Amino acid sequence: MTSLIPLLLLVLGFVALILGANWLVNGATSVGIRAKLSPLIIGLTIVAFGTSLPEMIVNVFSCAKGSPGLAIGNIIGSNTMNILLILGVSSLIWPIDVSRVSIRRDIPAGFFATLIIALMANDFFMSKDQIVDVNWIEGIVLLLCGCAYLALTVLKKSPEAEAEESQEALPWGKTILQLVVGIAGLYAGGELVSNNAQILARNWGMSESTIGLTVVATATSLPELITSIVAATKKNSGIAIGNVLGSNILNIFMVLGVSALIIPLPFDPLMNKQLIILAIANFMMLLFVFTGKGRKLSRFEGALLTLGYVGFMWFSLVVG
């Protein structure tokens, strides 16, 4: 009976996430059409910010309460899920076309973000007498990297036209309403799912690091999952992949950057195994883009990515 209320709140969170994601995609697309932005740019900025809210909320709340142990594990697990599961499932629904600008800018930025957090977490830049963490100075560096990436993304548009179906913008009132309600739904849903998933996990005897890498990461990545699935069903590959790539980069640069400003983020060296898996996931994504016909992720490659996530979860839960 002690798990009944958390389970009910978890379901309520799922409903809020699904509705919020659908409204956010519609509202963000409308804004992008009015601003004459490509679907890729919409996914990398507006949608990515909205779907990164749960990671930000969980990390900021836990750091403010003096419990930052989940922070890095949450981001590593979320980013791995974004690439392996979310891109995998989205590709199964509809093959995802990958633009040249993503190959030249966004995928390398994801590699760089993964590398820099791995170096910071292992004290490559700063020695701190047996205390392994990411401190406020490194947090500022992460935030500056995030601002530079966003400026490059917004100011330098893709030179190629994307083959997305033309759409008409919604009226301004409806556009703003959908954006506000969509982000609010993601916020509320992310809070309900992540908080109650943690309660259930602790009731079942899971460690904090395992919670961060699996349960919390899965819960906070649900907005990205739902948003990308909704976009894929609408055959809007620009939103689908832009959402994932932008969210991964913002998770490391912005979410961890803000978290490190609040309190130093401790890092368990055992999580280097998961960091390696995240790096492999990035490499798999890049490899699949250049295999087969055209620059796209096929359904077969999506199946391989999805199986990779199953392997990651097994490794994190069983092997550790």
pLDDT attached to residue 65: 67
pLDDT attached to residue 129: 53
pLDDT attached to residue 59: 82
pLDDT attached to residue 157: 54
Domain ranges of the chain: 4-156+168-319
Alpha-carbon span 33 to 37, nearest angstrom? 6
Predicted TM-score (pTM) of this structure: 0.79
Taking domain 4-156+168-319, whether its CATH number is 3.40.50.2000 is answered by no
Phi, psi of 312 (to 5 degrees): -65, -45
Alpha-carbon span 319 to 314, nearest angstrom? 7
> Tokens in use for 114?
């993964």
pLDDT attached to residue 309: 93
User: How far apart are the two ends of the chain, measured CA to CA in Å?
Assistant: 30
Alpha-carbon span 171 to 162, nearest angstrom? 24
pLDDT attached to residue 292: 63
Q: How far is CA 131 from CA 141, 178, 179, 264, in A?
A: 19, 45, 42, 10
pLDDT attached to residue 121: 85
Spell out the per-residue pLDDT of the chain, length 320, in tens. Answer: 567 888 788 889 878 877 887 788 788 878 888 887 776 677 666 766 776 777 887 788 778 766 676 788 889 999 999 999 999 998 998 888 887 777 888 888 999 999 999 999 887 766 555 556 788 899 999 999 999 988 887 776 554 444 444 557 788 889 889 989 988 888 888 778 777 777 877 787 776 667 778 877 887 787 778 878 888 887 776 677 877 888 899 899 999 999 999 988 888 788 888 899 999 999 988 888 877 666 788 889 999 999 999 999 888 877 76
